[in-house]
Structure 1
Amino acid sequence: ALEQDLTIVPVINKIDLASADVESVKHQIDHDLGLDSADAQLVSAKTGQGIDDLMEAIVTKFPAPTGDVNAPLKALIFDCHYDEYRGVIVHIRIMDGRVKTGDVIRLMSSNTEYKVEQAGIFKIKFEETGVLEAGDVGYIIAGIKTVQDVRVGDTITLASNPAPQPLPGFKEVKPVVFSSIYPIDSNDYEELKDAMEKLKLNDASLVYEKDNSLALGNGFRCGFLGLLHLEIVQERLERDFNQVVIFTAPSVRYKVRAAGKEEQWVDNPADYPDGKIEAAEEPYIKATIITPAEYLGSIMELCRLKRGAQTNMQYLDEKRVELTYDMPLAEVLFDFYDKLKSYSRGYASFDYEVTDYRPTDLVKIDILLNGKSVDALAQLCFRQSAVERAKKVCERLKDEIARQQFKIAIQGAIGSQIIARETVNPVRKDVLAKCYGGDITRKRKLLEKQKEGKKRMLMAGDVELPQSAFLAVLKEKDAD
């Protein structure tokens, strides 16, 4: 808002609370935001105190919208949602010109055209007005089938009298975090497919394609805008569509160049190229952390362990510090946010933006059960973190896998090099129970016979991972 030179009216809410510290908040408005705290509106949304004064301030302090009604139509798309009876309802703000029912509009980013069936404004319900003019905020319905045909930030104009240039600032969103989704029960794949299609109708930023795992069956490989987006999709699948699903370990998109091959994008361990890797790059972020000064030491140590490089530290006041770090996005995906909240007792705030790609030493960790790779548990990670990551996975699997008649070796490997191992010992019959005394060679013979039998079982036996094992490994938050 400050960059766009917009009018700002500070509002201090919850003044009815006994713990409300209005003077401290006013100091932050003056010191941190650079605004005049004398203009702050004191309100309590719960009791209604100060609401009338807030409404009056909105009317008097905010300037009236500008725009030329007679100019070619320029309308900014700021949101949209899907209605199963009317298709996509597009939320727009008219900058110049006017649009009315019956007009043929053009979406300038995709150059597609639609006929306006209804136009109106937002009240408690949609109120049809038939026309929207410069300065209006409202909606249009134009027979658009899916929300992926509409892009937030795009410009709408008239096909008959188009604007020469779209409104500035439009950027096509690209996923930065990737994860695969599988149903708990493979028979529920069709239900999950229907749920993903319905979710896509209301979430144009969700990107997915079909995926398959030998261990988990059919599923989807999905791209998300960030960790929050991933959690929202997971929550909506479970709450709105009653889907019980497994999310594989989240990953970022790497640039990888194998020896003698062209550079390629890799976000799935299954696509990691074989052979020698000449170069690899991973996305970096600019992380901004605001924390009480008393937790500064532990948070700086956490960022150091996550390969963060401090670029700035600024005291906002006597009690709060702002830290700025450059760090790999991959390090934030697992438990960084949870540890940050734990170390600061919930007082630290965290924000980030992707900046660029930088060289990294990337490896693929394979998890083996008796020498057989489990593709759903494979991970891409920084080489120096590989041993610790592999040990964690092996330890959690050991706790979940039931003992068999034969030994089960759980291994973490980089190529042919084993970097971590846990063993699930076999259950065995006490073959020496009937030997009360006698020569030791008799006992050795019985034990050797049992050992040979275990070897034959190992050659023919197969280990099936229970779903609880996948959940234990992949749900980092619950396990740590």
Structure 2
Amino acid sequence: VKKDLADLLGVSEQKILEISAKEDIGINLLLDAIIQYVPPPKYEDIDYTTALIFDSKYDKYRGVIVYVRVFCGELRIGMHIKLFASGKEYVIEELGYLELDREKSERLTAGEVGYIFAGIKDVRDAKVGDTITSLENPALHPLAGFRHPKPMVFSGIYPLNGEDYEDLKDALAKLQLNDASLTYEKENSLALGYGFRCGFLGLLHLEIFKERLDREYNIPIISTMPSVEFIVIRKNGEQITIDNPFQMPSEDEIADIKEPIMECEIITPPEYIGNIVQLARQKRGIQKEIEYLDKNRMLIYYEFPLIEIIFDFYDKLKSVTRGYASFDYHYKEYRSAPLVRVDILVNKEKVDAMSFITHRDKAYEWGKNITEKLSEVIPKHLFTIPIQASSCSRIIARSTIKALRKNVTAKCYGGDITRKKKLLERQKKGKKRMREIGKVRIPQDAFLAVLKAERA
């Protein structure tokens, strides 16, 4: 196992420590290694005070608990402090160290890590990455080096029950307290009602967010099709950024669309390179370079559109390499591409929460898979329901849910055939009228089916 880990991580076997907290094995070795390899905090002995907020959480009895690392000066009980981002001032009521439990102290000095209670009630005032300074010896500038992470994936989040909207709003504010990369704004959908458009670092971040909402706040939600930020250049030269398919202008207004491109690194055993190349071709990947790390590992550099890797790419990569490949990516640039918006129509009415943006060559296949999925989960009605995928003002795919048919001739025992024909004709006219005025009930499972539909 040590050899496998050393090969995977590219380190010597001597740096792989055998540790078990359960069996109390190697704990002292671990602590010695931390002292040896992790540098101690560096600080300057200067007059002003600066402390970095690295985490925080909400306590319903005492407000926001702020976790800080002191870089310069000191923090004391009773000290008047200021938060740079909000500009608001507070008084420290309690502080201390983070051990198995919170251990109270009179002060925190440079290089130390601890917690602060300062009567902060609004979760938005204590942002992760913000700088705290004292009013007695204030710093002129916040600590340098922290950058707010930029969301790359966007999805609509709606409460399953409309009465949970306010609870969802409060939960988002509290989750954002210790998740600086989470962004949200109000959004309204004709199909799902009131909700929020949320930004995430990636699809895994979105899944963790949904799990936390369910586990910590017990709020059942439904999410719309994830998307990314596109840059749209209109024919009049105006440039806009969109993260929602319904923000996209009509096709005759668009001069160019640009999508985010990611630089990706895939580490894999050599025997799986053929499978990876085939998968990358399906996902519009451009191979840049191949590097052999050793006889058992190779590093492949690719460029992928972000929209192609946020859905099922990682799962498929693990599948075609039997779990041996690792994958990492970071943003490179925006690049022009022939992208289109695809709308899903149920009974000839657009369902805004199901629209998505994709490459023109993949619009038909993806739209076809979604219409087929929806035809399986939307229940039959008393009239025929067409489910269509539309792009660029034309229908590109269709599935049909056949009508429930009542046997109106069941009570006709013999007699003239014209009587049966009259009953069937009357039923036909009724179904035609129902198709014109009837409303289709779309179950929540239908929105989940869209997320699970096979992508081209």
Q: Report the TM-score when normalising by structure 2.
A: 0.88
1:217-236: CA deviation from partner (whole Å, max 9, x where unpaired): 22222122222221111001
The counterpart of 1:52, out of the listed 13, 23, 28, is: 28
Per the alignment, in what secondary structure is the counterpart of residue 42 of structure 1?
Answer: coil
Q: What is the aligned partner in structure 1 of residue 73 from structure 2?
A: 97
1:148·1:204 contact (CA, 8 Å) conserved in 2?
Answer: no
Aligned length: 454
Q: Which moved more, 1:245-254 or 1:406-415?
A: 406-415
2:123·2:173 contact (CA, 8 Å) conserved in 1?
Answer: no
How far did residue 352 of structure 1 move? 1.9
Per the alignment, in what secondary structure is the counterpart of residue 23 of structure 2?
Answer: coil
Q: What is the aligned partner in structure 1 of residue 234 from structure 2?
A: 258
Distance 1:153 1:143 in 2: 19
The counterpart of 1:128, out of the listed 92, 95, 104, is: 104
Percent identity between matched residues is: 49
Do structure 1's residue 316 and structure 2's residue 296 form an aligned pair? no
Do structure 1's residue 231 and structure 2's residue 211 form an aligned pair? no
The counterpart of 1:77, out of the listed 43, 46, 53, is: 53
User: CA 1:303 to 1:407, structure 2 compared with 1: closer, same or farther past 3 Å?
Assistant: same
User: CA 1:72 to 1:181, structure 2 compared with 1: closer, same or farther past 3 Å?
Assistant: same
Per the alignment, in what secondary structure is the counterpart of residue 102 of structure 1?
Answer: coil
2:128·2:177 contact (CA, 8 Å) conserved in 1?
Answer: no
Q: Report the TM-score when normalising by structure 1.
A: 0.84
Distance 2:148 2:177 in 1: 18
Distance 1:62 1:188 in 2: 46
User: CA 1:187 to 1:122, structure 2 compared with 1: closer, same or farther past 3 Å?
Assistant: closer
Q: What is the aligned partner in structure 1 of residue 42 from structure 2?
A: 66
Q: Which moved more, 1:190-199 or 1:73-82?
A: 190-199
User: CA 1:476 to 1:437, structure 2 compared with 1: closer, same or farther past 3 Å?
Assistant: same
1:280·1:362 contact (CA, 8 Å) conserved in 2?
Answer: yes
Distance 1:445 1:381 in 2: 49
Matched AA of 1:369: V
Task: Give unmatched runs, 5+ long, in structure 1.
Answer: 1-20
The counterpart of 1:140, out of the listed 98, 110, 116, is: 116
Do structure 1's residue 460 and structure 2's residue 444 form an aligned pair? no
Distance 2:250 2:6 in 1: 59
Do structure 1's residue 376 and structure 2's residue 353 form an aligned pair? yes
Q: What is the aligned partner in structure 1 of residue 194 from structure 2?
A: 218
Do structure 1's residue 152 and structure 2's residue 128 form an aligned pair? yes
Q: What is the aligned partner in structure 2 of residue 344 from structure 1?
A: 321
Distance 1:209 1:230 in 2: 15
2:148·2:180 contact (CA, 8 Å) conserved in 1?
Answer: no
Matched AA of 1:358: R
Distance 1:207 1:369 in 2: 31
Task: Give unmatched runs, 5+ long, in structure 2.
Answer: none
User: CA 1:59 to 1:418, structure 2 compared with 1: closer, same or farther past 3 Å?
Assistant: closer
Matched AA of 1:266: I
Q: What is the aligned partner in structure 1 of residue 267 from structure 2?
A: 290
1:78-97: CA deviation from partner (whole Å, max 9, x where unpaired): 22222223322222222332
1:133-172: CA deviation from partner (whole Å, max 9, x where unpaired): 2222222232333443233333333333333554331112
RMSD, aligned α-carbons: 3.0
How far did residue 377 of structure 1 move? 1.2
Distance 1:28 1:205 in 2: 30
Distance 1:367 1:40 in 2: 53
Distance 2:16 2:351 in 1: 58
Q: What is the aligned partner in structure 1 of residue 245 from structure 2?
A: 269
Distance 1:127 1:48 in 2: 25
Q: What is the aligned partner in structure 2 of residue 427 from structure 1?
A: 404
Distance 1:273 1:150 in 2: 38
Per the alignment, in what secondary structure is the counterpart of residue 257 of structure 2?
Answer: strand
User: CA 1:464 to 1:99, structure 2 compared with 1: closer, same or farther past 3 Å?
Assistant: same
Q: Which moved more, 1:323-332 or 1:92-101?
A: 92-101
